[in-house]
Amino acid sequence: MSEEHLIEPVVRLPGDRPAGQPCPSRPAEVREAVLRAVTERCLATRTPCDTEALADALLVASELTTNAILHGGGVTGFEVDVDGPGVLLSVSDRSDALPVAVPPVDGEGRRRPGGHGWPIVCRLARDVQVSDLPAGGKRITALVSLV
């Protein structure tokens, strides 16, 4: 990649949350955290970042968060780690139910609204893992390539 693809922070993001402050739990907050983590890593290592790959990571983070809100009883945890050529995203929720892809039409042939989030996550992430949490609920971890 050429130097022209080095991303620069486009917006001024809030600083790290103080201890005791809740983790990001809305899609916009999660996207900000991912953008901040990737941008800081690219700038610190003087590594150019592919803006399309960053967009994929932001979309995966947003979809995981939205699914936790809509289907998992809310976000109970979020982690982002930029490791090597990828970003590792983990979103936890209260539900023990595994995510599933639903057909776009019901049994009577009517189109269903939504249902795109999980397939998007599975297409854009290089690796997706679902694990049970000891106190109940689950954590979904997705690795999205940044190159």
SS (H, E, C) 65-114: HHHHHHHCCCEEEEEEEEECCEEEEEEEECCCCCCCCCCCECCCCCECCC
* Confidence at residue 20, expressed as pLDDT on a 0 to 100 scale: 57
pTM of the model: 0.81
Amino acid found at 22: P
Count of CB atoms situated within 10 Å of the CB of 20: 5
Q: Going residue by residue through the chain (147 aa), what tens digit of pLDDT does each one get?
A: 333 333 333 322 334 444 555 688 899 999 999 999 999 998 898 888 889 999 999 999 999 999 999 999 999 999 999 988 899 999 999 999 999 888 888 889 898 888 889 999 999 999 999 999 999 999 999 999 998
Q: What is the signed CA dihedral for 72, 130, 39, 19, rounded to 10 degrees? A: 60
* Confidence at residue 22, expressed as pLDDT on a 0 to 100 scale: 65
* Confidence at residue 66, expressed as pLDDT on a 0 to 100 scale: 95
Distances 141 to 18, 56, 58, 75, 95 between C-alpha atoms, Å? 24, 15, 14, 13, 15
Question: What distance in Å separates the CA atoms of residue 106 and residue 113, rounded to the nearest whole number?
Answer: 10
Nearest by Cα to 62 from 95, 25, 37 = 25
What strands lie across the sheet with 138-145, from one edge to the other? 75-83, 86-93, 138-145, 127-132
* Confidence at residue 75, expressed as pLDDT on a 0 to 100 scale: 96
